[in-house]
């Protein structure tokens, strides 16, 4: 993979890979989310990411691992609904299920391809704080040849488990960035959700 120039866009794309991985997890149906629980979730995410990076597997195998991690630690349903935006209200339940599944694979391919850029780097979890009904886990990403940059994981138990639902990469929301891209893709298909789902299955 040819290294890309150092710039904020590249940082957001690389950081978005983390977001996708993070962006279902530790089950706590009877307990409210705590600072400790949110931090443990992110620590687990980071640990599994590092294992995949160091595995020496082929790119396709790494992407498959990436999708499994994403499914385990991300609130995929909430993220998918948010990225589809207001159009999710006119989608049938079957379309939302199909869109969520296609979106999961799309994210895995799109960001999993960048895993190798993390080799030799590290992620440090620095702090955690409660913000309204969720917790924000603050980390610093160190990559070879790059200045360190901040990534904030947003963790909630809204779905009954401690799950990641967004990430701020140098202040930019992954969820909102993907909403813009998915919205543009849907517009290009004249609002046809089925066509969007079909294209997402091979995009990324």
Residue 179 has pLDDT above 80, yes or no: yes
Q: What pLDDT score does 9 carry?
A: 54
Q: How far is CA 112 from CA 59, 104, 201, in A?
A: 8, 11, 15
What is the mean pLDDT of the segment spanning 140-153?
88
pTM for this structure? 0.76
* Nearest C-alpha neighbor of 139 from the set 107, 116, 168, 165: 168
**Angle of CA points 128, 134, 137, to nearest 5°:** 25
Residue 30 has pLDDT above 60, yes or no: no
Residue 27 has pLDDT above 70, yes or no: no
Q: What pLDDT score does 187 carry?
A: 97
Reported confidence tier of residue 18, pLDDT bands at 50, 70, 90:
low
Q: Which helix (H) or strand (E) holds 142?
A: strand 134-142
> What is the DSSP code (8-state) at residue 73?
H
Mean per-residue pLDDT over the chain, rounded: 83
* Nearest C-alpha neighbor of 71 from the set 123, 15, 13, 23: 23
> What is the DSSP code (8-state) at residue 202?
T
Superfamily of domain 8-200: Tgt2/MlaC (3.10.450.710)
Q: Return the percentage of the chain with pLDDT > 70, whole number.
A: 83
Residue 6 has pLDDT above 60, yes or no: no
Quick: pLDDT tens for 63-110: 899 889 888 999 999 999 999 999 999 999 999 999 999 999 998 888
Q: What pLDDT score does 8 carry?
A: 55
Highest mean pLDDT among 2-6, 16-20, 131-135: 131-135
Q: What pLDDT score does 3 carry?
A: 40
Distance CA 157, CA 192 (A): 32
Contact 127, 136 (CB under 8 A): no
Domain parsing of the chain, residue ranges: 8-200
Residue 20 has pLDDT above 60, yes or no: no
Question: What angle do the packed helices 76-84 and 174-188 form, to 10 degrees?
Answer: 50
Phi, psi of 167 (to 5 degrees): -145, 135
Distance CA 183, CA 31 (A): 36
């Amino acid at each position: 993979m040819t290294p890309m120039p150092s710039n904020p866009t590249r940082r957001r794309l690389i950081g978005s890979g983390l977001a996708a991985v993070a962006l279902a997890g530790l089950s706590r149906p009877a307990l409210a989310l705590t600072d400790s629980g949110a931090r443990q979730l992110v620590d687990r995410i980071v640990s599994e990411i590092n294992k995949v990076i160091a595995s020496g597997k082929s790119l396709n195998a790494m992407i498959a691992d990436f999708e499994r991690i994403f499914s385990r630690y991300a609130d995929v349903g909430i993220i998918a609904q948010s990225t589809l935006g207001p159009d999710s209200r006119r989608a049938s339940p079957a379309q939302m299920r199909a869109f969520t599944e296609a979106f999961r694979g799309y994210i895995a391919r799109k960001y999993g391809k960048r895993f190798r850029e993390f080799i030799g780097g590290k992620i440090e979890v620095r702090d955690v704080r409660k913000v309204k009904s969720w917790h924000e886990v603050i980390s610093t990403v160190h990559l070879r040849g790059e200045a360190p940059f901040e990534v904030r994981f947003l963790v909630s138990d809204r779905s009954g488990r401690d799950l990641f639902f967004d990430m701020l990469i140098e202040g930019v929301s992954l969820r909102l960035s993907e909403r813009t891209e998915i919205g543009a893709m849907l517009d290009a298909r004249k609002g046809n959700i089925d066509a969007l789902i079909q294209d997402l299955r091979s995009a990324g």
